[in-house]
Structure 1
Amino acid sequence: MFFLKRICILLFFFFFVLSINAQDKNKTIPLKKIFQNIEKQHHVIFNYIDVEIEKIILLPPKNNLSLNEKIKYLQKKTNLSFDTINNQFITVFDKKKPELIKICGYVFNKNEKTPLENANIHFNNGNNTITDKNGYFELQKQNSNEIAISYIGFATQKIIVKENQFKDCITVYLEQDMAVLENIITNHYLTSGIAKKTDGAFEIKPKKLGILPGLIEADVLQAMQQIPGINSADESVASINVRGGTHDQNLFLWNGIKMYQTGHFFGLISAFNPNLAHTVSIYKNGSSPFYGESVSSVVDISSNSNDFEKNNFSAGINMINADVYSKFKISNNGFIEISARRSITDWVQTPTYKNYFNKAFQNTTIINETNSKNTNYSDDSSFFFYDATLKYSQKIGQKDHLILDFIIINDKINVLQSNSVNNLIQSEKNTLYQNNFGGSLSWKRFWNKTNRSTINIYSSLYELEAQQNKIEANQTVKQENEVLDTGIKIENFHKINSKFSFRNGYQFNEISTINLDEVNNPQFYRKNKNVLRNHAFIMEGKFNDSISRLNINSGLRLNYIEQFNKYIFEPRLQFNYGITSNLNFEILGEVKSQNSFQIIDLQKDYLGIEKRRWILANNTTIPIQRSKQVAVSFSYTKNNWLLSVENFYKKVTGINSSGQGFQNQLEFIKINGEYTVVGTEIVLQKKVNHFISWISYTYNDNNYYFPKFVVPVFSNNFELDHVVSWAGIYEKENLKLALGSKWYSGRPRTSLQSDELDISNPIIDYNSPNENHLKSFLQFNFSTTYKWKDTKETQYRIGFSVLNLLNKKNEINEFYRVNTVLNTSEKVKTFALQRTPNISFRVNF
């Protein structure tokens, strides 16, 4: 009996489970879900109109049925029509509705005559499909005869299909698009408007630039210092050091014109109007062979725009300068663009100006090392600067484009100094002028869809003139430095196919420098003029495969210097491979050379402020500078996270000690040497909605090697062993806020063995060069901007920033010099900016 009960219970549960399974199997589901299940099982694609099937619910066909059996089942149950194309695409439509006309066709690459798979085909009403591996498509016509065919890397083509063409398939040939795709690793690097590209460049769009700590305007040279490996240890944009190099080793181009002056107010303000530039490309390594004459970075500033937009006018003012900008059409295909900026410092002395002025002239108060007495100077000074640009752009027909550019940068200062020493009054009147004029004429010719040529003729004139009048001594000292750089560059671009392109070209430039020294009492006159002419033959090939995520740019620049009868080969490489969609691997390498650079004859030249002079190599006592660089990096991006790690090696030979800014026992010695840098740069960044935060770390081991010096190897003057930057940025609609900090270990310094001087031979007794370091640097910066529009669509923007928010006294330089009056050694300390506020206001019509 017990056994029979157990059997009955088991049978009950068995039939109960069967009943449940039967109910599950008989469960109805939406037709769209059935289509999705069939697509996964049989690897087909259903094309249908949602509104025709969204209300249909039925029992799914059995899984063990074939595809054709399932289609027949669905036809019977739904009364829909199913048309199968190439055993892959199944078109579904309501057969009760009027019969729809079908359009079929093939899409091919026009140059290679090969089919294009996955090309997009769509009507204006939204009905669309894609081509198969044979380039074939089939689509139902609905209330429109116009279809658009598009494919990545090719120009979109629109076709009106005539009624008599519906019976036969059409053939479409797409032409490759000349516009090169923007290959971006990340398009929100540090802030909006900065992108890291697959060719190793950092691209800044000033008009789209978000906000960075301490900046209320899109100052390019200030913004680039946020990028790891780019620093200015003395806070000057005229002393930007990229991976340990000096400022003059960077190539600054403005619309193809080499600029020899990059800063106003002795480097505290960028010389390039931030409201003008459209694109700025920065290469720390792996630059194109079309860039020459530098052994460090390249900063290519381009205000060229192909957009002939509506007329535009804007004006702005801050606590240092005021500016205006205007762009207006002169024809359907032509426009003129004008910008001008001028300091207001000779009209009103704002707190910002006073802090900048104190920073530039702070060494007029000198701390005596031996008795701590102060030697005070009184100053009566006037200072102003301005810059202006003019662009004329005109398209001629469909194939020609003519662009004319002019730029002028000007600084002027007058200083009257009086000094009281031992009750004797000594007075000096000093003047300094600094100018950079530039002009270029560019012509572009689009021969066809795959070939274009560019010819650029340019000239750049740099002038620096300083005059020092010692009134009591009736002595006038005059110094001049002039650089004239003229040249022509020819470039041809050839697009071989959708993946490979080739560029070749020729560049010629002539550089002349003049250096003059003149003294009236005692009489002295010296004037040196040097000229170098360089020919460069350039080749570059680019391979870009978006499917395999492989990008390779490789090129060669062959320089020939007439005066030296010397050839210099400069290979370049950019290799970028996407290991996965999130992980990227990059190798950059280059060999470069430079014939023009700056030296410092005496630290007191040019008022002790702008003391650098441009000279040319002579291939003997002043060699050509040459560099080798290689970098390997990984970057990972996912869920708005970015992690980038880059290791690099850099070696520069042919440097002269007089160009390195020594203020120790090497100050008056002119010897040649080299420096080597090994380092790592790391960036970690996260974006959450409207907030982005990042932290970066840079390590540098940077050493000189001067074989003819007693101590041949020692730390580079611009070595910053460790640099850490952090920022938190909030951007939502019209409000932007940024708070950030920068910390770095102190610069190298040279200490004294003894502070006592021999009166008969007052020479400072130093320890080994750069054997010590200054204290570490720490600074917090803040900035915010807000913009709004009125009813007439006029846009207003107000900004506020504070540099050195905590007002920390950071020492950025220290050296010693002899006081011949007191027969003592004097320690001179230079400090960073004090807490410096700034306010800006801008209106855009």
Structure 2
Amino acid sequence: MLLPKQFHFLFFLFFLALNLFAQGQGQVMPFKKIISEIEKQHQVSFNYTEDNISGLELIPPKKTLSLAQKLEYLSKKTNLSFENIGNQFINIYKKSDEPQIICGYVFSNADKKPIENANINLDDKTQTRTDSKGYFEFKKENQNTFLITHIGFVSKKNTIGNTDSENCLQLFLEPEITELHEIKTNAILASGISKNVDGSFEIKPKKFGILPGLIEPDALQTMQQIPGVNSIDESVSSINVRGGTHDQNLFLWNGIRMYQTGHFFGLISVFNPNLAHTISIYKNGSSAFYGESVSSVVAMSSTPETAEKNSFSAGINMINADIYAKYNLSKKSYIEISARKSITDFVETPTYKEYFNKVFQNTTITDFSNNQNVDYQSDKKFGFYDATLKYVQKIGNKDQIVLDLITIKDNLEVFQSATVYDIFRSENNILRQQNYGGNLAWKRNWNSFNTTKINVYNSAYELLANQTTTFENQIVIQENTVNNNGVNLENNHILNSKFSLNDGYQFNEIGITNLEDVTNPDFYRKVKDVLRTHALILEGKYNDTISRVYFKAGTRVNYIEKFKKFIPEPRIQFGYGINKSLNLELLGEMKSQNSQQIIDLQKDYFGIEKRRWIISNDSTIPIQKSRQLSLNLSYEKKGWLLDIENFYKKVTGITTSSQGFQNQLEFVKTTGDYEIWGTEMLVQKKMNHFLTWLSYTYNHNNYHFVNYEYPVFPNNFEVMHTATWAGIYEKNNFKIALGTKWTSGRPKTSPDNSQIDLSNPTLVYNKPNNTNLHTFAQVNFSSTYKWEDANGIQYKLGVSILNILNRKNEISEYYRISSLTNSIEEVETFSLQRTPNVSFRVSF
């Protein structure tokens, strides 16, 4: 008989044996708990419907089995199928229901992450959505196709007949993340001109309407209509933006810096007006990717934003003729050419004569004729041309290569002779100005978020003068050449629909040579300087069109090898839409410039193009630096536009040689700065087909030369008051414009008559720029008409008249000692007289 303790021990052993046997056979568990344990052990996620697993229980598989073995075990023990998606997601469905169920996962193709709440639109108009894992399913039944849509992604249509119902689909959507369109002011000044939210002006020449005096969308003539932009001598080679000199502006043609901007020595732009697709003009707040300028930026691009068909056009006016052609070599490549040449070789039109008189007044060429009055003869030849070539090749869906070439040339030859007191005198003058440029660019779209651009460019400029005189038996040769090479790298990263980030690197090498070679007396000088600069750029942009906030900030850090100097250049652009009609804008920038144009002698290069490029030496020729800030308020409603902008700008490191003095400072070599502040206003009204506007600019601009006896005085380029009005009518294909421009006279320096000794006249001046020229006033007119024949060929006729009233406007004045009368004489230069022009163009 067993004792109680022994009985208890045997009972415990029996219970333990039963328990071990039960564990060896496996304990039945709810199916949901089994797959939950598998999820934890193998880091996977099951997708299922509750109906398929409700009430299901079975013995779990051994934990030592692999994931695939466990799924095979579960499939054998149940009426379920298991689909393993990359050892990450596992779909569960009934074997009997397989043909009736379509399931899938939706991922972003950019980062391969699942897309939640994507809409699955079925043929029967019903919808379902993806869950947090991107999973969806629906009954096949009579469904043939389904459409997947989601905000920020390209919609994708799928055909069910091509799917394998035994496996869930893996679908990838392409992001449709693009920067929100920047708010632009509607047509400003004329159709085809708008103002961007970043403060820049944008001109679309192919959409350009008309402006007074212009019958073609000339970029450099058009920009002079913008408040704050002027040219004190009517020249596109002397554009002054907020008091700056022309060389302080950066002119880019398809990424190539251009050192020559005008044909006919400044009266015509070198950029073919029928070629450019987009022209961007920045007075302030330019991108950090623009360097080497302390004033404005003018960036021209001839690359279209969208594919265009083959086209050809040809035109002629009273100065030049041109052709343009674009031909698609394939679906992914095209070639584009343009050429323009003066017609002065064949005919001297009234327009040409007015231009010639304007350019060559008070130069050594007219001095020769003025000083000779016996048997004077002159033989002159003048001509210019420009040509461009573009080749574009797309490689695959992500790469594009663009090659741009441009050549520009002006050539003048003047032979003059006269016999005075039986002595024969002659002069042969040759003046050549040319600019060649090339740019090779590669662009790659890595994906919808990231883009890389690399371009390599070269720009070569030459100004050459050769003068031979028989009487003095003298030859004078002057030459100024610029060779500019560079590499630009730019990366664009779109973080989301509001944020983007740009970074890049730029290398720039500029070499400038100045040569002077004189015989009798013999003199030779040749100076060549080279400067290499590296720049790192970083800028970020936030653009929210819903809250009407735009913010862009960036900086470029320049490193100049020769001087071992770092120069940071921060930039800022901020815009805020107070409401739908009222906008506030704040722009600021700091910039620097290593090259500039100077005048050694006013008669250099015959006094026609007397400026020569030089490089900073960081001492007597400092690096120019600028800082600028502007605040703009604009109101636009019911066809009205009111724009007011206040600005402050200071440029340091300027030299007296770069400012074109023709007074007591002409031969003084010193450095200083100029400081300008002012207000620019524009009032515009659009009424159906009629547009009228009135602009006014006030600025106060002073020099500061601390080492000069008069340390502060007005800037040579100060035009204190400028007012411009225009009335434009455009209906269908007919356009007409009438406008007027009025400016206060620029500063001049008068001689001090009280100190002149008439027996031995010498020039003694008052304080620099102590008075002003007379006011400038001009009325201009232009009109165009376009029509098309039955064959689709378009014709365009244009007529313009500059200075309709034929007003004699004085644009400069200086004093000199007359060699004939031995007295002080006043030398005046005047603007164009009444100048007509007619153009005709054919396009197809």
Same fold judged by TM-score > 0.5? yes
Inter-CA distance 708–521: structure 2 relative to 1 (3 Å threshold): same
Q: Is the Cα–Cα contact under 8 Å of residues 434 and 462 in structure 2 kept in the other structure?
A: yes
SS at match of 1:237: coil
Letter of the 1:157 counterpart: S
Letter of the 1:610 counterpart: E
Inter-CA distance 564–149: structure 2 relative to 1 (3 Å threshold): same
Q: Is the Cα–Cα contact under 8 Å of residues 591 and 625 in structure 2 kept in the other structure?
A: yes
Q: What are the Cα deviations for residues 228-252 of structure 1, in whole angstroms up to 9, with x where unaligned?
A: 0000011000000000000000000
Deviation at 1:534, TM superposition (A): 0.3
Per the alignment, residue 239 of structure 2 pairs with 240
Deviation at 1:827, TM superposition (A): 1.0
Per the alignment, residue 283 of structure 2 pairs with 284
RMSD (CA atoms): 3.5
Alignment of 1:116-515 (within 5 A): 149=149, 154=152, 156-160=154-158, 162=160, 175-177=174-176, 179-363=178-362, 379-418=378-417, 426-515=425-514
Distance (whole Å) between structure 1 residues aligned to residue 123 and residue 378 of structure 2: 73
Q: What are the Cα deviations for residues 619-651 of structure 1, in whole angstroms up to 9, with x where unaligned?
A: 011100000000011111111211111000000
Per the alignment, residue 518 of structure 1 pairs with 517
Deviation at 1:802, TM superposition (A): 0.5
Deviation at 1:745, TM superposition (A): 0.5
Distance (whole Å) between structure 2 residues aligned to residue 719 and residue 527 of structure 1: 35
Q: Is the Cα–Cα contact under 8 Å of residues 676 and 699 in structure 2 kept in the other structure?
A: yes
Per the alignment, residue 581 of structure 2 pairs with 582
Q: Is the Cα–Cα contact under 8 Å of residues 774 and 812 in structure 1 kept in the other structure?
A: yes
Q: Is the Cα–Cα contact under 8 Å of residues 757 and 823 in structure 1 kept in the other structure?
A: no
Letter of the 1:159 counterpart: K
Inter-CA distance 108–447: structure 2 relative to 1 (3 Å threshold): closer
Per the alignment, residue 573 of structure 1 pairs with 572
Distance (whole Å) between structure 2 residues aligned to residue 124 and residue 529 of structure 1: 75
Q: Is the Cα–Cα contact under 8 Å of residues 320 and 352 in structure 1 kept in the other structure?
A: yes
Deviation at 1:445, TM superposition (A): 1.1
Inter-CA distance 578–411: structure 2 relative to 1 (3 Å threshold): same
SS at match of 1:606: helix
Letter of the 2:552 counterpart: N
Most deviating of 467-476 and 512-521: 467-476
Deviation at 1:708, TM superposition (A): 1.1
Letter of the 1:387 counterpart: D
Q: Is the Cα–Cα contact under 8 Å of residues 713 and 769 in structure 2 kept in the other structure?
A: yes
Q: Is the Cα–Cα contact under 8 Å of residues 646 and 682 in structure 1 kept in the other structure?
A: yes
Deviation at 1:779, TM superposition (A): 0.7
Distance (whole Å) between structure 2 residues aligned to residue 646 and residue 130 of structure 1: 53
User: What is the TM-score normalised by the length of structure 2?
Assistant: 0.81
Deviation at 1:307, TM superposition (A): 3.1
Larger of the two Rg values belongs to structure: 2
Q: Is the Cα–Cα contact under 8 Å of residues 505 and 537 in structure 1 kept in the other structure?
A: yes
Letter of the 2:623 counterpart: I
Distance (whole Å) between structure 1 residues aligned to residue 291 and residue 588 of structure 2: 15
Inter-CA distance 203–104: structure 2 relative to 1 (3 Å threshold): farther
SS at match of 1:501: strand
Inter-CA distance 106–802: structure 2 relative to 1 (3 Å threshold): farther
Distance (whole Å) between structure 2 residues aligned to residue 604 and residue 131 of structure 1: 80
Q: What are the Cα deviations for residues 180-202 of structure 1, in whole angstroms up to 9, with x where unaligned?
A: 34313303111111110011111
Deviation at 1:774, TM superposition (A): 0.8
Inter-CA distance 156–770: structure 2 relative to 1 (3 Å threshold): same
Distance (whole Å) between structure 2 residues aligned to residue 192 and residue 823 of structure 1: 56
SS at match of 2:790: coil
Deviation at 1:658, TM superposition (A): 0.4
For structure 1, which runs of at least 5 residues remain unmatched after alignment?
A: 1-102
Most deviating of 758-767 and 450-459: 758-767
Q: What are the Cα deviations for residues 516-573 of structure 1, in whole angstroms up to 9, with x where unaligned?
A: 1111111000000000000001101111112111111100100000000000010000
SS at match of 1:580: coil
Deviation at 1:428, TM superposition (A): 2.0
Deviation at 1:427, TM superposition (A): 3.2
Distance (whole Å) between structure 2 residues aligned to residue 517 and residue 225 of structure 1: 35
Inter-CA distance 351–147: structure 2 relative to 1 (3 Å threshold): farther
Inter-CA distance 131–703: structure 2 relative to 1 (3 Å threshold): farther
SS at match of 1:726: strand
Letter of the 1:640 counterpart: G
Deviation at 1:107, TM superposition (A): 11
Inter-CA distance 387–352: structure 2 relative to 1 (3 Å threshold): same
Per the alignment, residue 93 of structure 2 pairs with none
Deviation at 1:104, TM superposition (A): 15
Q: Is the Cα–Cα contact under 8 Å of residues 462 and 484 in structure 1 kept in the other structure?
A: yes
Distance (whole Å) between structure 2 residues aligned to residue 706 and residue 310 of structure 1: 57
For structure 2, which runs of at least 5 residues remain unmatched after alignment?
A: 1-101, 137-141
Deviation at 1:759, TM superposition (A): 8.0
Per the alignment, residue 708 of structure 2 pairs with 709
Q: What are the Cα deviations for residues 603-624 of structure 1, in whole angstroms up to 9, with x where unaligned?
A: 1111111000000000011100
SS at match of 1:607: helix
Alignment of 1:401-800 (within 5 A): 401-418=400-417, 426-754=425-753, 762-800=761-799
Distance (whole Å) between structure 2 residues aligned to residue 639 and residue 107 of structure 1: 47
Distance (whole Å) between structure 2 residues aligned to residue 303 and residue 286 of structure 1: 23
Deviation at 1:109, TM superposition (A): 8.2
Q: Is the Cα–Cα contact under 8 Å of residues 194 and 201 in structure 2 kept in the other structure?
A: yes
Distance (whole Å) between structure 2 residues aligned to residue 191 and residue 122 of structure 1: 46
Deviation at 1:331, TM superposition (A): 1.5
Distance (whole Å) between structure 2 residues aligned to residue 276 and residue 236 of structure 1: 21
Identity %: 60
Deviation at 1:146, TM superposition (A): 7.3
Distance (whole Å) between structure 2 residues aligned to residue 360 and residue 184 of structure 1: 42
Q: Is the Cα–Cα contact under 8 Å of residues 757 and 825 in structure 1 kept in the other structure?
A: no
User: What is the TM-score normalised by the length of structure 1?
Assistant: 0.81
Inter-CA distance 559–389: structure 2 relative to 1 (3 Å threshold): same
Q: Is the Cα–Cα contact under 8 Å of residues 681 and 696 in structure 1 kept in the other structure?
A: yes
Per the alignment, residue 92 of structure 1 pairs with none
Deviation at 1:471, TM superposition (A): 1.9
Q: What are the Cα deviations for residues 114-164 of structure 1, in whole angstroms up to 9, with x where unaligned?
A: 9999x9999999x999999x9999xxxx9996768585xx45424257599
Distance (whole Å) between structure 2 residues aligned to residue 506 and residue 197 of structure 1: 26
Report whether the alignment pairs 1:836 with 2:835. yes
SS at match of 2:592: strand
Q: Is the Cα–Cα contact under 8 Å of residues 755 and 825 in structure 1 kept in the other structure?
A: no
SS at match of 1:602: coil
Distance (whole Å) between structure 2 residues aligned to residue 123 and residue 681 of structure 1: 58
Alignment of 1:35-74 (within 5 A): none
SS at match of 1:221: helix
Distance (whole Å) between structure 2 residues aligned to residue 692 and residue 332 of structure 1: 41
Q: Is the Cα–Cα contact under 8 Å of residues 191 and 207 in structure 2 kept in the other structure?
A: yes
Letter of the 2:278 counterpart: T
Q: Is the Cα–Cα contact under 8 Å of residues 593 and 626 in structure 1 kept in the other structure?
A: yes
Letter of the 2:560 counterpart: I
Distance (whole Å) between structure 2 residues aligned to residue 129 and residue 763 of structure 1: 95
Letter of the 1:516 counterpart: L
Letter of the 1:386 counterpart: Y
SS at match of 1:621: coil
Count of aligned residue pairs for this structure pair: 732
